[in-house]
Structure 1
Amino acid sequence: MDWPAVAAAAAVGLPATAPVAVTLANRVIACSSAARSAGVRRGLRRRESQARCPDLHVVAADPSRDARFFERVTVTVDDLVPRAEVLRPGLLVLSVRGAARYFGSEHAAAEKLVDAVAAAQAECQVGIADQLPTAVFAARAGRVIEPGEDAVFLSALSIRQLATEPSLSAPGRDDLVDLLWRMGIRTIGQFAALTRADVVSRFGADALVAHRLARAEPMRGPSGREPLPELDAVMDCDPPIDRIDAAAFAGRSLAGQLHRTLEAGGVGCTRLAIHAVTANGEQLSRVWRCAEPLTEDATADRVRWQLDGWLNRRHAGDRPTAPITSLRLQPVEVVSAGALQLPLWGGAGDDDRLRARRALIRVQGLLGPEAVQIPVLSGGRGPAERITWVPLGDELTPRADPSQPWPGRLPEPSPTVLLDDPVELLDVQGNPVRVTGRGLFSAEPAQLDTPADPGSPARRNGGPSRSGVDLVFAGRLRWWAGPWSVDERWWDPKAEQAGRTARVQVLLESGSAASESGPALLLCYRRSRWYVEGVYE
C-alpha cells in the first residue's frame, strides 16, 4: 500500500527514510513508514497531516508515475519467476507451484523474491495462500498460509480489511464496511457466517463479492480459457514511439481495436498481455490482471502506464535501446459474454441478442451506465417493489430476496402496466373515501375521479399519464375488492413505502354503455392519498 509514496520519493530523489504522503482530493491515500511513525494516516486531510509531521513531503497522486517506477520491480521478479501479473503498481501476483518446485519449497521461493526485490532498491513482503485475495492479505502479514486454511486465516481479520485493497474491492466497499461495523460485524469470520441469500438481499452485488472473498471461495471460475489468436490487436507504429504522448494515443487506438474484436466475439478480457518490439528487435512483454473484465478505458490506461514504464525506466541499462515499432495486445484470459450478461432475449448464441447487446453498450457509452437497465424479480409487496432495475453489465442482484414469504403481498396476477398517478376515490355523494386505522373504507366507494388540482399530471377523460399512455382514470365503479392493508417500515419515516398502505382493485364502467366494463385498475392508498398503481389487461 505504500508504493505510491515510494514512487513519489524516488521521482524527486528523496531517501526511503523521508516522510512522504500522496494525496488525492486533498486526502492522504498513501504514506511512507516514516510519515506513519509521525502520525500520518490514510484518510487524513492534507493540512492535518502536515500539522502532525511538519517535514512531510506532500505530492499529488499519479498512477503513471507509480507504474513507471514499479516496472523495475516487475522486471526483477519476472527474471526470477516468469509470468508475474500486475494487480496494481505495488502488487504482483504469480503462481507459486513452479517456483516452489524450482527453489525447493514455498518458503525458499519467498526468500528469493524478497532478496531479488531488495536488489532493485525496494522492500517487499510475500504472502502465499490457496486463493489470490487471501494471498494478498497474507502478504500484508508476511505469512505463508497452509493449504486449506484460507478461511481460518481470514476469519480473525478485521472487517475493515475488506476495503483496504483497491484491486480487490469496488468503489463503494467503504460504505459496506462501515455499515457492517455499525451492525456489530467486526471480523471477516462473522461476515462469512451470514448466508449468501441474506447478504445479497440486504447489501447488494459488491457485498456478494466480498462475501465470497471472506469465505475463501475461488474468485475465478472455470470460464477462463485460452483465447483465439485472431483476438489480438496489433499496431505497427509509424513513426516509432519514443514519447509518452504518442504512447497514450497509440494505447487509446489499440484499446478501441481490441474491444471491438472482443465484442464481436462475445467475450471480455480479464488478463491482458502487452507486447512491444523495438527498432533493434528487442521483445518487451507484461501481463496485467484485473478482477473484472477490462473496459476500453481501463485497457487504454494500462497500455499507457506500461509504455510509460518501458520508455522511462530509471536505469539507462534497462531502457529499450530504440523506439517501439510494434505493439500487440493479447487477451491472455477471457470470459464468455454469457458469464457477464443475462441474455436479453433468445438463446446464448442468437445474432439478435449479440446485436442488441452491442447497441445497448454503445448507448451506455454515450449516455452513461445508468441509461440502460435490466429488470430483475425482487422481493416486495406491491408490484413496483417487486422489480429491481440493474444497469446493464452489473450483477443481476435483486434489492430484496423474492423467495421470502412477504406477508401482505398482492396476489397474482400482477398489473400489466405500472403507474403512479394520483386519483380520488369518492362515495355516492362525492365525498372522499379514506382507509381507517382498522383497514376499512370510511364509506362505500362509488366512483373514481381525477384530483381537483388543475396542475396534476393526471387528466380526466383519458389525459396523458406519467407513463405516456392515454388511460381513462374517471368513471363509476362497476366492481371493487379490498382494501388490503399493510403496515410496513413504520420505523423508517424517510422510506418511500413507510407507514400504512392499502390496495384496492376496481373495475370501471365503460363510457359507452353501463352494461360494458371499462379498465380494471389497482389503486394504492398511502400518505392519505389515492394513486393508480397499475392497470390490468
Structure 2
Amino acid sequence: MGRVLVAWVPDFPVIAVVADGVPPDEPVAVVHRDAVVACSPAARRAGVRRRTRVRVALSRCPVLRLIERDLAVEMRVFEPVVRHIEATVLPSLEVIRPGLVAVPARGPARYWGGEQELADRLVAAVAELGHPARAGVADTVFAAALAARTGQLVAPGTDAAWLAPYPVGVLGVPRLTEPLHRLGIRTVGRFAALPEAKVLARFGAAGQAAHHTARGLRSRPLAVRATADEHVVSRVFEPAETRVEPAAFAAKALADRLHERLDAAGAVCARVEASLELSDGRTLSRVFRHEGRLSAPALAERVRGVLRAWQESGAPERGGEHGMVRLTLRPERLGAATGRQEALFGERHTPEGLERAAARVQALLGHRAVVRMEPGGGRGPAERIRLVPFGDLDTGRRAGGGPWPGRLPAPHPASTFGSRRPARLTSADGSPVALSARMALSAPPAAVAVEGHGRLAVAGWAGPWPVLEQWWEPGRARRIARLQITATDASAWLLVVEHGRWWAEAHYG
C-alpha cells in the first residue's frame, strides 16, 4: 500500500486576503454560504471559530470584518508556494485546495531519508515563504489530512485504528452524522464496524464511500465505459495569447465542455489537470483535486486563479513575445455519477439541465448574473425583497411579517434603486433643506434634484418619518428619516436623509 503525505497551511484563506491588502492585525473572517471558513488570530481570540455561523460570529465579535471567499485569489496566492515546493523538495504534487497539498510519500521519503525527514523538509520549505505549515503521513489522503492538523505520522496499516476514536462528524457527510447519532453511533470506529452491505442499503453511495474512509480504505475507482483520455478538452490560441482574461474565458468554455462529456458518459471526476503550452516550448501544469464532484464554475475559477499567478511570475509574459498557444483540461480518477438533487428555488427541486444552464451563465457573466428573489423584512421598500445568487444559501433571512415600526405603508414605489442616488432638496430661496433633531424641516421644499433626472419643482410632500435601527450596536446603528416628494410633472420620489445628506431611494409612477 502506498503512503501519502499531506501538508496543511492553517487559515490559508485569511493569509490570501491579507496578501490581497487586508490589514493582518484586525479581526477577519473569510466566509462562504453563511459559515466561517477561516479566521484571523484576533478573531479567534474573540471567540470566532471555523464553521461558526456568521450571525453567531458577529455576536461574539461585533467589529469582525467579513470577507466572502474568493478561490481565484487563494489559488493565485498559493501558486508561489506550490512552485517553491516543486523546486526544493519534490517535483510533483496534488493541490487538494489552496493551503492543502498531497504528495506520494514512498519514493520521496526514500530519497530524503525517511517520512519524518520528508515532512520536516516540506514544512521548512513552506516556512521559507513566511507561512506556518504542518504535515501528516498515512496510508490514505483523508487520514493524512487529519494527521496534518497535529503533525502526526500514522503507522502503515493502522489508519482504521487511528481514525476510530474520532467523532463521525469528521467524515464530512452532515446528512450521515445525524442519523448515526440517533442510532447511538458516535465514533468513526463504531461506524466502520457496521456491515458494508447494511450501510449501502441504508445510506446509499455516499454512506458507502464514508464507510470506506472510516475503514482506512482507498477510494476504489468505479468502472466507467470511457477512459479519461477520451474526455480531454483543449483550446488552441492562434495567434498566441498574452492576456489572461481571454484564456480564462476559454477555460470556462472548456470546463463546460468537459462536464458535458462526463455527463454523457455517466461519470464524474475527482481530479483535473490543467496544462498550458507556451510559444517558447515550455508547458505549465497544475493538478486540482476535489472531494466529490468538481463543478464547471469551480474548475474555471481555479484555472483562472492559476493563470493569473503564472502571468504574474512572468510566464506567459504580459504583452511580451512568448504567449499561450494551447490550454488543456484532462480529467483523472473517473467515477460513476450517482446523481444528486438540490434545492434552487425554496423547497422545490430543479432539473440538472436548468442548474447547468444557470451555472454556465454565471461562469460567463459573473456570480450574480443568476439570482432568485427572497422575501424579507425591513422598513424601506428596497429591503423587502432580496436577490440571492444561484447556488448560495439565503444568509440574510428575516421574517417578512411585523411589527416593523417606521415601515412605509402602501402604495409602494413602482421601482427601487439598487443603490441610493444622490439628491438635493432646496427651498424657495435656493438654500438646502435640512432636518432638525426634532424631525422638523428647516424650510418648505420648493425643488428637488435627483442624479440623472434633472431639477424639478415640488408640488407637495409628506413626512418626514424617522427610523432608528440597531441602536444597540454602535457600529451598525442607523438613524434616518424618509420623505415623500411629488413634483409638478406628476412624478414622485421617496427620499431618505442620513447624516445631513439627501438620497433618492425609490420612484413612484
Shorter-chain TM-score bucket reads 0.5 to 0.7
Instruction: Tell me the residue number matched to 2:253.
Output: 253
Q: Following superposition of structure 1 onto structure 2, how do residues 311-460 of structure 1 map, counting pairs within 5 Å? A: 311=311, 313=312, 320=317, 322=320, 324-331=323-330, 333-335=332-334, 339-340=336-337, 365-367=352-354
CA distance in 2, matches of 1:368, 1:156: 39
Encode CA deviations 1:395-437: one digit per residue, 9 max, x unaligned: xxxxxxxxxxxxxxxxxxxxxxxxxxxxxxxxxxxxxxxxxxx
Aligned to 2:81: 73
How far 1:53 moved relative to its partner? 3.3
- Name the CA shift for 1:139/1:259 in 2 (closer, same or farther; >3 Å): same
Q: Deviations over 1:505-537 (max 9, x none)?
A: xxxxxxxxxxxxxxxxxxxxxxxxxxxxxxxxx
Is contact 2:229–2:330 with CA below 8 Å preserved after alignment?
A: no
Whole-angstrom distance in 1 between the partners of 2:110 and 2:80 = 25
Give the match for residue 109 of structure 1: 118
Match of 2:64 in 1: 56
Residue type at the aligned position of 2:325: S
Q: Contact 1:225–1:335 (CA<8 Å) still a contact in 2? A: no
Q: Does the CA-based 8 Å contact 1:278-1:325 persist in structure 2? A: yes
Give yes or no for the alignment of 1:131 onto 2:118: no
Cα distance in 2, alignment partners of residues 10 and 105 from structure 1: 34
Q: Would the alpha carbon gap of residues 294 and 205 (structure 1) be closer, same or farther in structure 2, given more than 3 Å must change?
A: same
Equivalent AA in structure 2 for residue 335 of structure 1: L
Compared with structure 1, are the counterparts of its residues 252 and 262 closer, same or farther at alpha carbon in structure 2 (3 Å cutoff)? same
Distance 2:265 2:59 in 1: 55
Q: How does 1:498-517 map to 2 (within 5 A)?
A: none
Q: 1:310 to 1:10 in 2, by over 3 A?
A: same
- The structure-2 alpha-carbon separation of the partners of 1:309 and 1:178, relative to structure 1 and needing over 3 Å to count, comes to farther
CA contact (8 A) 1:224 1:334 kept: no
Whichever of the two has the greater Rg, that structure is 1
- Partner of 1:514 in structure 2? none
**1:4 and 2:10 correspond:** no
Between the aligned partners of 2:295 and 2:56, the Cα distance in structure 1 is: 37
| Within-5 A mapping of 1:174-185 | 174-185=174-185
Distance 2:176 2:222 in 1: 28
Partners of 2:228 and 2:331 within 8 A in 1: no
Task: Give the counterpart letter for 2:134 in structure 1.
Answer: Q
- 1:272–1:329 Cα contact (<8 Å) kept: no
In structure 2, what is the Cα distance between the partners aligned to 1:33 and 1:326? 44
The question of whether the paired residues in 2 share the 8 Å contact of 1:31 and 1:40 is answered with: yes
2:39 equivalent to 1:31? yes
Paired amino acid for 1:77: I
Offset, 1:309: 3.2
TM-score w.r.t. structure 1 length?
A: 0.55
CA distance in 1 between counterparts of 2:64 and 2:295 reads 37
Matched, 1:141 2:128: no
Cα 1:185–1:260 change in 2 (3 A) is closer
Maintained 8 Å contact 2:180/2:186: yes
- Structure 1 vs Structure 2 CA RMSD: 3.3
| Contact 1:258–1:329 (8 Å) recurs in 2 | no
Matched to 2:149, the amino acid is: R
Distance in 2 of aligned mates of 1:270 and 1:58: 30
Greater RCO, CA 8 A, separation 6+: 2
1:200 is aligned to 2:187: no
Task: Please report how far the alpha carbon of residue 261 of structure 1 lies from its aligned counterpart in structure 2 after TM superposition.
Answer: 5.8
Kindly tell me: are residues 140 and 205 of structure 1, through their superposed partners in 2, closer, same or farther at Cα, counting changes over 3 Å? same
Identity, % of aligned positions: 37
Deviations along 1:130-168, one digit per CA (max 9) or x if unpaired, are: 1111111111121110101101110011222122xxxxx
1:99 CA displacement: 1.0
CA distances 1:336-363 after superposition (whole Å, capped 9, x unpaired): 7xx5579xxxxxxxxxxxxxxxxxxxx9
1:120 — aligned with what?
129
Provide the secondary structure at the position in 2 that maps to 1:234.
strand
The gaps in structure 2 that reach 5 residues or longer are 1-9, 340-349, 357-509
- Looking at structure 2, the residues matched to 277 and 125 of structure 1 have their Cα atoms a distance apart, in angstroms, of 33
Q: Is the 8 A contact 2:273 2:332 kept in 1?
A: no
Which residue of structure 1 lines up, in the alignment, with residue 103 of structure 2? 94
Is 2:225–2:265's contact at 8 Å kept on the other side of the alignment?
no
Deviation at 1:250, TM superposition (A): 0.8
